[in-house]
Amino acid sequence: MSLKWRVGIILGLIAASLWALFPRTVVERVKRNGEFVYDTVRRVPLKRGLDLQGGMHLALEVDESKGAVPDKSKAIDNALKVVRNRIDEFGVSEPLVQKAGNDRIIVELPGIDDPRRAQDVVQKSAFLEFQITDETQALEKALPRLDAVLKDAKVAAATPTTGARKDTTSAGLQSLFTADTSKKADSARKDSANAAAGTAGGPGAFSKLIQQGQMPGEYYVAQTDVGLVTQYLAMPEVQAALPPAKVVRWGSDTVSLGNRVYRPLYILDAKPIITGEFLTDAKPNTSPTEGNLVQFTMNNEGARRFRTETSRHIKDYMAIVLDQRVMGRPPVIQSAIGANGQITMGGKDLQAAQDLALVLRAGSLPVPLKVVEVRQIGASLGQDSIHKGITAGVIAVALVVFVMLGYYRFSGALAVVALALYILYTLAALAGFNAVLTLPGLAGFVLSIGIAVDANVLIFERIREELAHGKTVRTAIDEGFRHAMSAIVDSNVSTALTAAVLYQYGTGPVRGFAVTLLAGIAASMVSAIFVVRTFYMLWLNRSREAQQSLSI
């Protein structure tokens, strides 16, 4: 190849690399004052991994703890669409939602600074049901059975938090089995408190934990006892003793009465009068009386059903159940309801209403998903990693330059120029192939700066040997390159093969490492062999005396 061609190719590569790395204007979704907006940003087109720019990586699988899912792959496909819709609306720049393997969804959200919220949006089933609260006092009828079951199971010994129970000042509550007068209620409560404090394992292990609420099918459980009741309700014996054709659901908000905090527990008709599948739109709103809420609209069929069902349940209470939790307090049905309705958010902020509207719009997840892997990195930590990586890189370059110049002098200088080109080419290759730069990748890149000169070292040592054999400078250079070639090729190919294996079997950050390694190998072959060779040829052509001695 003629010298002109060689120089041309090198200059062409430099130009192409500079072009690939030139900061360009991209339209991106960026966060400004808490809102995601589209904006143009100028930046170097090097993609940073989540560990460098901050963000969140989630792996989700079908949650089969509440029942087996027959066709997981199909379920995941359906769930994928819903998750993708939700993420698209959530407003993250360059999110990634993809299926991995047969039964897993990978979600990557760069730059997320509120991981908990993001995870909620992804994971929320958003299964909306409208259920009528129980009016048949089914729980009261079942209570003796429940108490007996618990007594048999010998859990009665686990007394509830009695400290709070002794506080009998909270008036206005009606204890479950006493008459309506508050005096009697008080004395009954004292009794039950005494029973709990005194004889552990006494009667009413279950019934003493719950109290009648303010509407049919509503009961109150002291906040401190919620864990215990949840535990009881999860027991198979208890579940079998619960009233048939009814479901038990917790309320979303707590109720304060006096200075005690209660969580409502609802007994609902198991069959919902309608579900969220007919929902066409949902949007957040704020009302002065009810606080934040989500207004929804149903399609024609949904509206028709809703109207028929609600007209049948006038004066009943309708619980709006989202993901098995009763939202707000069940309103009484005054008249038939049509296409529009609303869900009050209780004390939650507007963002919660926005998120709920979002997930309702995107549709409910066909199967519950559980998180099997989370990696979340704060943006500041990522920034810090970049700074440290760059510092390490600059120091590595300085050390290598020092060693090469000190030992090989003029030839070392050629190698240093080649090293600069190596860095340029590698970064350009990463940008050009849209590869992702991760922290291990950055480390690999710094390391490769130290190893990239190996090819030059091999060549220079060969040239020295040839010179020692008394060859002329021109011949020594030719022979040096030729003899060093097989070692360079063999060692680089074997490293490339290792990198390919890493790429295949690595995940996230490690994969980034493999890509950087591969790009580095390719770039170092070009810079060490082709570029340095060309430099030598240029130099030999230029000066006559150069052919007499070589600084190496």
Partner 1 sequence: MLRILHDTNYDFIRWWKVMAGITVAFILLGLGSLAIKPPNYSIEFTGGTLMQLEFTQPPDVGQIRATLDQAGIRGAEIQQFGTNREFTVRAQNREAVAEQSRGAESIAVSIEKVLKQKYGENGLKVVRTEAVGPRVGQELKRGAIVAILLSFLITLVYLSIRFEWRFATAAVIATSHDVFTTIAFLKLMHLEISLTVVAGLLTVLGYSLNDTIIIFDRVRENLRKGRKETLYETLNRSINETLPRSVMTHVTAFAATLALLFFAGEVIRPFAWVMAFGIVTGTFSSIYVAAPVLLWIERKWPRKTGVRQSSSTATPTSRTRRSPATATR
Measured from the CB of residue 504, what is the shortest distance to partner 1 in angstroms? 8
When binding is defined by CB under 8 A, the residue of 69, 510, 522, 540 that contacts partner 1 is 510
Contacts of 236 by beta carbon, 8 Å cutoff, 6+ apart: none
Measured from the CB of residue 155, what is the shortest distance to partner 1 in angstroms? 19
Measured from the CB of residue 179, what is the shortest distance to partner 1 in angstroms? 41
Whole-number Å distance between alpha carbons of 316 and 143: 23
Q: How big is the chain by its Cα radius of gyration, in Å? A: 35
Whole-number Å distance between alpha carbons of 235 and 126: 26
Select from 91-99, 165-173, 177-185, 443-451 the region that touches partner 1 (CB under 8 A).
443-451
Under the criterion CB under 8 A, does residue 502 sit at the interface with partner 1? yes
Under the criterion CB under 8 A, does residue 487 sit at the interface with partner 1? yes
Contacts of 101 by beta carbon, 8 Å cutoff, 6+ apart: none
Under the criterion CB under 8 A, does residue 10 sit at the interface with partner 1? no
Measured from the CB of residue 62, what is the shortest distance to partner 1 in angstroms? 12
Under the criterion CB under 8 A, does residue 493 sit at the interface with partner 1? yes
Select from 9-17, 302-310, 352-360, 395-403 the region that touches partner 1 (CB under 8 A).
395-403
Contacts of 403 by beta carbon, 8 Å cutoff, 6+ apart: none
Distances (CA, A) of 372 to 102, 278, 366: 14, 31, 18
Query: Is 329:252 a contact under the CB 8 Å cutoff?
Result: no
Q: State the helix-helix crossing angle for 439-468 and 379-432, rounded to 10 degrees.
A: 50
Under the criterion CB under 8 A, does residue 59 sit at the interface with partner 1? yes
Residue 176 DSSP SS3: coil
Binding mask of the shown chain, residues 19 to 58, with x at each position contacting partner 1 by CB under 8 A: ----------------------------------------
- For residue 267, list its beta bridge partners: 248
Under the criterion CB under 8 A, does residue 325 sit at the interface with partner 1? no
Residue 173 DSSP SS3: coil
Under the criterion CB under 8 A, does residue 458 sit at the interface with partner 1? yes
Under the criterion CB under 8 A, does residue 446 sit at the interface with partner 1? yes
Q: Longest C-alpha distance within the chain, in Å? A: 117
Question: Whose CA is closest to 367, among 414, 328, 323, 301?
Answer: 323
When binding is defined by CB under 8 A, the residue of 339, 350, 457, 522 that contacts partner 1 is 457
Q: What is the DSSP letter of 545?
A: G
Query: Is 279:296 a contact under the CB 8 Å cutoff?
Result: yes
Binding mask of the shown chain, residues 460 to 479, with x at each position contacting partner 1 by CB under 8 A: -x--xx--------------
Measured from the CB of residue 136, what is the shortest distance to partner 1 in angstroms? 35
Residues 64-123 binding partner 1 (CB under 8 A) are 65, 115-116, 119
Type of residue numbered 52: L
Burial class for 461, CB neighbours closer than 10 Å (0-12, 13-18, 19+): middle
Nearer to partner 1, 286 or 391 (CB): 391
Measured from the CB of residue 409, what is the shortest distance to partner 1 in angstroms? 8
Select from 67-75, 323-331, 486-494, 525-533 the region that touches partner 1 (CB under 8 A).
486-494
Measured from the CB of residue 75, what is the shortest distance to partner 1 in angstroms? 17
Query: Is 268:246 a contact under the CB 8 Å cutoff?
Result: yes
Residues 193-222 binding partner 1 (CB under 8 A) are none
Nearer to partner 1, 125 or 131 (CB): 125
Under the criterion CB under 8 A, does residue 541 sit at the interface with partner 1? no
Binding mask of the shown chain, residues 339 to 378, with x at each position contacting partner 1 by CB under 8 A: -------------------------------xxxxxxxxx
Question: Whose CA is closest to 438, among 57, 117, 98?
Answer: 57
Nearer to partner 1, 270 or 372 (CB): 372
Under the criterion CB under 8 A, does residue 440 sit at the interface with partner 1? yes
Query: Is 211:178 a contact under the CB 8 Å cutoff?
Result: no
Measured from the CB of residue 537, what is the shortest distance to partner 1 in angstroms? 19
**H-type helices in 22-167, by residue range?**
50-53, 72-90, 115-123, 138-152, 162-165
Residues 511-530 binding partner 1 (CB under 8 A) are 513-514, 517
Size of the residue set binding partner 1 (CB under 8 A) = 79
Measured from the CB of residue 396, what is the shortest distance to partner 1 in angstroms? 4
Nearer to partner 1, 233 or 396 (CB): 396
Whole-number Å distance between alpha carbons of 14 and 534: 14
Q: How long a stretch of residues is the chain?
A: 552
Under the criterion CB under 8 A, does residue 158 sit at the interface with partner 1? no
> How wide is the angle at C-alpha 355 spanned by C-alphas 379 and 67, nearest 5°?
100
